[in-house]
């Protein structure tokens, strides 16, 4: 089963939901014309469908191999990576000063969705490099930027994120890696685990961003600094020079994403890997969060992407698999299973949630552009506050749904979905890592409740619910049953999210444990409610297009039907999370540890 980029829905979401025109009007984005954006999307769609998607199954079957310290990627991967470099794809959203094209993150996010749908195992190298570039660009010295960014922006060199250690897991306060000062550099030693593309054969150099402690650093996270540790030390002319003291000692054997090398990296086995500190001592974790926030949005988009791939395959199978009669007709002749009610229910569940995710993901990316580029300081700060609030929702809600939708994809296939040859199982296996990495989804829920809502008492969330109510009012003025249903659903969702936010903000002050016990239901409620709001916004646009005879009528009709299905079938169970949200704290800690 191949992949076809859903360009019609991507374009609609960019223009009508995320506000493509407003983003293109920001200072510095003058080249992001509608024609340019359309051309980029068209070419990205071709590359993803024609070059990346055919390698997806090969990568899953062949995996990677570690040979004499070198990781060999599956056949075809190095060649297609060179296509990316030659086509300038890696440079899309980055600073022109370092060879970037200066395009909006909104466009880059849409393109990233295509890469990840077509081949997530390959797409991970792009994701990690993107985050490493962002971290160096924000926090590196002028010399570090000049040395590393042009090569990383072009894709000639790739980047990694080295946080986790065997004893630390997600608790980075437990890190033991050391960095000893020596002249203009440091000697870094220690072991890092779960390092995505920590070693591979597709690029001429790999730039590791490594968290480590300096000799006099205090314990805990305040003692952590961030270092650039390249695989090959750059020569004066920018070419890779002497091999650094860093090696991949093993690759993990994983449930999915077999084409992506997940490496155990050893630094300093022969005296110390040469590293260069980024910024101030002790601020490494805050600098790394620049990369992690970038990665969390991208991982959320991976959840959307794998869901889209699973949906496309499920639809294709449902249209061709003939089995059983149509229950609504007397004819006993077997029909394609797409005619059966439960298959339709599953496909509509997949479709509606994918479109809700796409809306919220692109909306968040547009917020990043506003926070970076808007001319007004207050508007930039407000946009950043909203992005900060949305990032944990996008990461966790999208990746949970990625798993659920990939599982539905298997279910649509029936027994054939459990057979590897159909490919449906690969999507489910690949999706399973997404709620775990870049901070487990429980950590995202904890961040949402314990930091983001607590920071302003829920003010940023109330700003969103106010906009939801504004749309509900607008919908209520439009004639038609569909718009009335959506108006009621959006208003009800805003009320539920407001109530949940107020409860979390107040309870968090008095009993943080109780608030955290309900944090996952809160995040689920927030994501589902916000997704429904943006689907309804799109449905209103589609309604007006139909009234004005603009655009494809079949596409616009589908937008309205999909939004109504979501409002009537997906939203109500999610809004019922108010009960578990408020009640979980009473029993989550009720059993003694020995009772488990």
Instruction: Please give the full DSSP string across 64-81, using - where no structure is assigned.
Output: -EEETTEEEPPTTHHHHH
Which of the 8 DSSP states describes residue 170?
T
Report CA-CA distances (Å) from 330 to 128, 325, 412.
Answer: 56, 8, 24
In DSSP terms, which residues pair with 182 in a beta bridge? Answer: 185
476/485 Cα distance (integer angstroms) = 9
Contacts (Cβ under 8 Å, ≥6 apart) of 373: 26, 27, 28, 29
Q: Which long-range contacts (C-beta less than 8 Å, at least 24 apart) are formed by 283-289?
A: 283/225, 283/226, 284/211, 284/212, 284/224, 284/225, 284/226, 284/227, 285/172, 285/211, 285/221, 285/224, 285/226, 287/135, 287/138, 287/139, 287/226, 288/135, 288/161, 288/163, 288/209, 288/211, 288/226
**182 with 216: CB under 8 angstroms?**
no
Is 97 considered catalytic here? no
Both ends of the chain: CA-CA distance in Å? Answer: 44
CA torsion 398-403-407-408 (nearest 10°) is -10
Q: Which of 438, 499, 557, 593 is labelled catalytic?
A: 438
Contacts (Cβ under 8 Å, ≥6 apart) of 72: 64, 65, 66, 201
428/417 Cα distance (integer angstroms) = 10
Which of the 8 DSSP states describes residue 140?
S
185/225 Cα distance (integer angstroms) = 13
SS3 157: strand
Say how many CA atoms lie within 13 Å of 282 toward its Cβ. Answer: 8
Which of the 8 DSSP states describes residue 217?
P
Give helix then strand counts, H and E, for the chain. Answer: 21, 14
Contacts (Cβ under 8 Å, ≥6 apart) of 45: 4, 5, 7, 114
**200 with 175: CB under 8 angstroms?**
no
**131 with 163: CB under 8 angstroms?**
no
By annotation, the residues acting in catalysis are 438
């Amino acid at each position: 089963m191949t992949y076809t980029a859903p360009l019609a829905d991507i374009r609609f979401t960019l223009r009508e939901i995320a506000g493509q025109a407003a983003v293109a009007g920001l200072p510095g984005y003058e080249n992001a014309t509608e024609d340019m954006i359309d051309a980029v999307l068209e070419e990205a769609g071709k590359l993803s469908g024609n070059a990346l998607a055919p390698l997806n199954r090969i990568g899953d079957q062949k995996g990677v191999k570690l040979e004499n310290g070198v990781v060999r990627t599956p056949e075809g991967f190095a060649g297609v990576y060179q296509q990316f470099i030659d086509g300038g794809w890696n440079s899309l959203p980055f600073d022109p000063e370092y060879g970037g094209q200066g395009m909006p993150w909104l466009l880059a996010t849409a393109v990233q969705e295509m890469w990840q749908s077509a081949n997530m195992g390959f797409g991970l190298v792009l994701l990690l490099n993107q985050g490493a570039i962002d971290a160096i660009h924000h926090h590196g010295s002028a010399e570090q930027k000049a040395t590393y960014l042009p090569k990383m922006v072009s894709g000639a060199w790739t980047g990694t994120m080295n946080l986790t250690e065997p004893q630390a897991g997600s608790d980075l306060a437990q890190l033991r890696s050391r960095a000893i000062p020596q002249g203009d550099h440091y000697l870094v030693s220690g072991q890092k685990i779960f390092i995505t593309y920590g070693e591979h054969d597709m690029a001429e150099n790999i730039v590791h961003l490594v968290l480590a402690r300096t000799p006099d650093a205090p314990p805990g996270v305040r003692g952590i600094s961030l270092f650039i540790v390249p695989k090959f030390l750059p020569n004066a002319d920018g070419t890779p020079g002497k091999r650094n003291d860093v090696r991949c000692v093993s690759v993990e054997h994983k449930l999915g994403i077999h084409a992506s090398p997940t490496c155990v990296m050893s630094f300093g086995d022969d005296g110390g890997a040469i590293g260069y500190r980024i910024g101030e001592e002790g601020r490494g974790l805050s600098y790394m969060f620049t990369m992690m926030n970038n990665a969390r949005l991208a991982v959320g988009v991976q959840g959307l992407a794998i869901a889209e791939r699973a949906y496309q395959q499920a639809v294709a199978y449902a249209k061709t698999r003939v089995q059983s009669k149509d229950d609504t007709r007397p004819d006993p002749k077997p029909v394609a299973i797409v005619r059966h009610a439960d298959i339709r229910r599953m496909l509509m569940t997949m479709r509606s949630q994918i479109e809700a995710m796409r809306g919220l993901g692109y909306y968040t990316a547009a917020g990043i552009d506003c926070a970076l580029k808007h001319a007004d300081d207050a508007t930039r700060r407000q946009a950043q506050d909203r992005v900060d609030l949305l990032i944990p929702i996008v990461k966790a809600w999208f990746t949970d749904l990625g798993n659920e939708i990939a599982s539905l994809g298997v279910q649509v296939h029936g027994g054939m979905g459990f057979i590897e040859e159909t490919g449906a199982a690969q999507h489910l296996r690949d999706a399973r890592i997404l709620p775990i990495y870049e901070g487990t989804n429980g950590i995202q829920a904890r961040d949402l409740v314990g930091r983001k809502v607590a920071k302003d008492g829920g003010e940023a969330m109330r700003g969103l619910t106010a906009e939801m109510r504004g749309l509900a009012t607008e919908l209520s003025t439009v004639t038609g049953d569909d718009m009335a249903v959506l108006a009621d659903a959006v208003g009800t969702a805003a009320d539920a999210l407001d109530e949940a936010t107020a409860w979390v903000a107040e309870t968090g002050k008095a009993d943080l444990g109780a608030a955290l016990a309900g944090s996952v239901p809160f995040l689920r409620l927030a994501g589902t409610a916000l997704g429904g709001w943006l689907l309804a916004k799109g449905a209103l646009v589609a309604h007006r297009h139909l009234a004005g005879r603009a655009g494809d009528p079949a596409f616009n009709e589908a937008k309205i039907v999909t939004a109504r299905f979501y409002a009537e079938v997906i939203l109500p169970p999610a809004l019922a999370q108010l009960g578990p949200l408020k009640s979980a704290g009473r029993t989550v800690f009720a059993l003694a540890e020995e009772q488990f």
